[in-house]
Structure 1
């Protein structure tokens, strides 16, 4: 790591390289925090979490029981070991509580005075944080799976909503109505995410195995349908071969810089895409319930070898990218 710092100080490396190296080091060393606990409020599974981006102090959780809980992550006890307490909750006795499972909660990106939630009860609700009352409710004909507000938008207040319908719906907070729809998917929309880099770019994932990127300003809004084969099979089989996964695509998110898009599906695969070109980068990291973090890379040989040293010679992904003791000098 000292090698990265020295190169940064000397102006030899891009500052982003040091940031990524440190982020990687922290991810690889993650472990359960033994000093910090979260008060248990939900009586069943928790489907969604969101930490507000202003101070990173308050966290929302939405459960399969329809309950929404707001936590204060600050250590007010000033003790080394502490429990983060729930500030308030939308419990089962609340008049505006969701009737069924809450699938997504999200803070309003610019302040903590408002947050949103969507549920299997076919509603998207806008909440006033201070009064814990609904400021607006959007009703849909189909089950709502996901919604998202742009973290960088300054010229629109659109909320993208994915439902059991194959049409992506855009709800306008200013007018209080659904402004327009995006057509192109063939089955239900399971996940939606706005780009953190461009306020009009939206990514959607569907049960039809496809991931699409949209520019919502355009009449024909779809920019590209991501292809896991990077065009090689679609040249032969046509548009029908352009699938992102071999199964339902049930999750996606942009990297913080908006340059890449991460998707995962029921085919037990996660993929990293270049969000500008739509190219499948074919290399990524994954973590699972077994506690392992794995690096994935396509084999450069048609036949695999059990000789690890041979793999290291063949593929740079197996090389140690960290500065050794000699480099730290």
Structure 2
């Protein structure tokens, strides 16, 4: 039966989802790089606030339509072995609370002695931070600091005011979410890549302790990419490469396609001496129409060949446009 044979490069079987995921990862990377460009500091000030007092800072005017969030950082500057519970509020021009957060700050220190050595230790947690969506702000805002409680770890009262340093910045992009998104996208890319590698159904899987091998199966069709995988294991007398003579026959046993495939070999050495060799080659095809096809492989030279494996899969997906051979059998008699 005559057939039409056409080598071509096609993207018909290309799976783009891993590339789309990698593209999204690239966009996230760009966002990480350019995020500092949108950052602008609006206020940096220190204020003294005593117990049960509230102090308002100067109003700030965020830009309309700015990208990112309004970030408020408040750091207590407590003396040693002191603690404070303070609240940070963001108020609009009418005094309404847009957002608030409560922080329990502490600063502890002391001395240690061990085996004749001594030193000073210090532990602290005095900084608080929260973000407000900048799109929710349409005018000037005021930051207010209120000290709800304060004291010392020794039980002594702490009545003197404490300095609180407040910083307000706009256009802040929380890179924690960008990193989380990047990790998620990377996982999606990895999973889709694994799925592409695992795609396809094995139709023929034959092996023989010789150089000649045949197999037959029902496969093909215009929407199925067929991959022929030829694997060879040979002895220490192997040349750098072998040749596989691939032949495909139709359901009547008539020749459809023949091709010589070069198989480069990888030499396996032990103590500098070649012990064996192995190699594989693949051929991608589209066979039309779907039907029963026979595949035969003959390896030359055949002297060094110990084992030959023939695997034929269909439904293969690829990462990039693929070089294939399109074989279309004629329905007309020869």
Write 1 or 2 for the structure with the bigger share of strand.
2
TM bracket, shorter-chain basis: under 0.3
State TM-score, norm by structure 2.
0.20
The higher relative CO (CA closer than 8 Å, separation ≥ 6) is in 2
State TM-score, norm by structure 1.
0.20
